[in-house]
Amino acid sequence: MLERSFGLFYYLKQAKNQKEQRWYVYLRITVDGERREVSIKRQWIPNEWNSRTGRAAEIKEEAIELNRYLDTISNKVHQIQRNLIDEGKQVTAEKIKNILTGKREKKHFILEAFQEHNKQMKALVGQEFAPATLMRYTTACTHLSNYIKWKYETNDLEIKDLNYEFVSQFVVWLKIERKCGHNAAIKYLGNFKKIVLECMKKGLLTTDPFLGFKSKRKEVIPVALTKEELIRITNKKFDIERLDNVREIFLFSCYTGLAYIDAYQLRNTNIVTGIDGGRWITTTRQKTNSSTRLPLLPPAVAILNKYQDHPNCVSKGIVLPVLTNQKMNSYLKEIADLCGIRKKLTFHIARHTFATTVTLTNGVPIETVSKMLGHKSLKQTQHYAKIVDLKISEDMNLLKEKLQLA
């Protein structure tokens, strides 16, 4: 794309403390209002200079020779401009000056930009970003590094070399070499795209390598416990204390919708008296930094009361003795086996269960559920409604079969 304005102008400039009759000739390069000056290492007499045309005014041989040299310089500048455009680079007065004077342009690299972004993000963890967000960008950067080594056999690649093939093959590599699912691959690609957009804003890249690339995620319907499965876990008695603790913490999340990290960080100060006089949770979601306010249901209150004197809870000021996410999920697998539940039970299923089996299925409006889950938009909650629709469909199909048999 051609620049809106481009101009060259030669003029004379007197050096400091210069007493000689001749002044130095300078070239002013102007691109979109940005100006740069270049000394062309020639001198001329001010009285014999046409300031309007920017050329030597005399017709003597020396003047003609100088003007020819200035025309040669102008042709070089125009050629530099055309080369930058052909290479898809941004044309700036600074770039033209550097090329004209032989100064090497600073190279900018992809991983270098990604690592700088992550460094700044790390400094803002706890203020603007969650630790999990930093971890995801760090993993995405590692994947990108391994991809570049695999495909280009180098440790880094210049930003200017990014193109559609780089992007499309990165997704393929993530799926084949790293065994990422489609949605996980698209998520890492989204992290990388943020870095690319920042590079474009800084003028380091003029063509969007993502142009024409479709990166739509596949819709995944969340897995939740049915009412029967929830009752089965609730009524199951465990002789092993660690399993019983994990079961009750999981059930607490089933009746509050808290994600693992929010349950882990829940403190006594987050439990307040609500507008109805009952006990409420008021907290901020770690993942989205959005506020959550929700009244506690009786099963959740009963679990709170049971653990209020637990040694770990008392010493740390926390509400529940939540283990690491890895241990919680490991023990939940045991619990699922002992309860005869074939679903792959993870802590996050508790949040899905609250959204569907506990609230939406029992007639709680989706707008209210969205607020209690701490979602920033109703669209985030709507995919839970599809689970409810699926249950309705299954129930109606069973009814159709019964009616046909009657």
Q: What angle do CA 375, 248, 321 make, to 5 degrees?
A: 85
The string of pLDDT tens digits covering residues 274-303 is 888 989 998 877 666 677 888 999 999 999
pLDDT in tens, 141-153: 999 999 999 999 9
Look at residue 186 in the predicted model and tell me its pLDDT: 94
- pLDDT at site 295: 92
Specify the pLDDT at position 2: 46
- What is the residue type of 62? E
pLDDT digits (tens, 9 = 90+) for 342-389: 999 999 999 999 988 899 888 888 888 888 888 877 887 877 777 666
CB atoms within 10 A of CB 51: 12
pLDDT given at position 361: 85
pLDDT of amino acid 389 = 67
What is the percent of the chain where pLDDT is above 70?
A: 94
Mean pLDDT of the chain: 88
Inform me whether the pLDDT recorded for 17 exceeds 80: no
Q: Which pLDDT value is given to residue 35?
A: 92
Query: Domains in the chain and their CATH numbers?
Result: 6-100 (no CATH), 110-201 (1.10.150), 227-401 (1.10.443.10)
Question: Mean pLDDT across the stretch 101-113?
Answer: 86
Q: What is the pLDDT of residue 4?
A: 59
Assign residue 313 a region (left: φ > 0; alpha: ψ between -120 and 50; beta: otherwise).
Answer: alpha
Q: What is the pLDDT of residue 327?
A: 94
Residue 184 in this model has a pLDDT that exceeds 80:
yes
> Which pLDDT value is given to residue 390?
64
Query: How far is the CA of 110 from the CAs of 163, 186, 391, in angstroms?
Result: 12, 18, 47
d(CA 236, CA 332): 13
Enumerate residues 6+ apart whose C-beta is below 8 A from 53: none
Tell me: pLDDT of 1 over 50: no
pLDDT digits (tens, 9 = 90+) for 43-71: 999 999 999 999 999 889 999 999 999 99
Q: Write out pLDDT tens, residues 389-398.
A: 666 676 677 7
Q: What's the confidence (pLDDT) of residue 87?
A: 79
pLDDT at 351: 92
Phi, psi of 35 (to 5 degrees): -115, 145
Print burial letters for 118-144: b (CB count within 10 Å at least 16), e (below 16): beeeeeeeeeebbeebeeebbebbebb
Is a pLDDT exceeding 80 seen at residue 81? yes
The reported pLDDT for the residue numbered 18 is 63
Q: Nearest Cα to 384, choosing from 350, 353, 345, 341?
A: 353
| Higher-confidence position of 1 and 328 | 328
Contact criterion met (CB below 8 Å) for 76 and 12: no
Compare 132 and 224 and report the one with higher pLDDT.
Answer: 224
Q: Which residues pair with 36 in a beta bridge?
A: 29
Nearest CA among 22, 69, 74 for reference residue 43: 22
Rounded mean pLDDT of 233-254?
93
- What pLDDT is recorded for position 403? 80
Q: Rounded to the nearest 10 degrees, what angle do helices 164-176 and 131-152 cross at?
A: 100
Instruction: Give the largest CA-CA distance in the chain.
Output: 115
pLDDT the model gives residue 406: 55
**Which pTM was predicted?**
0.60
What pLDDT score was predicted for residue 115? 96
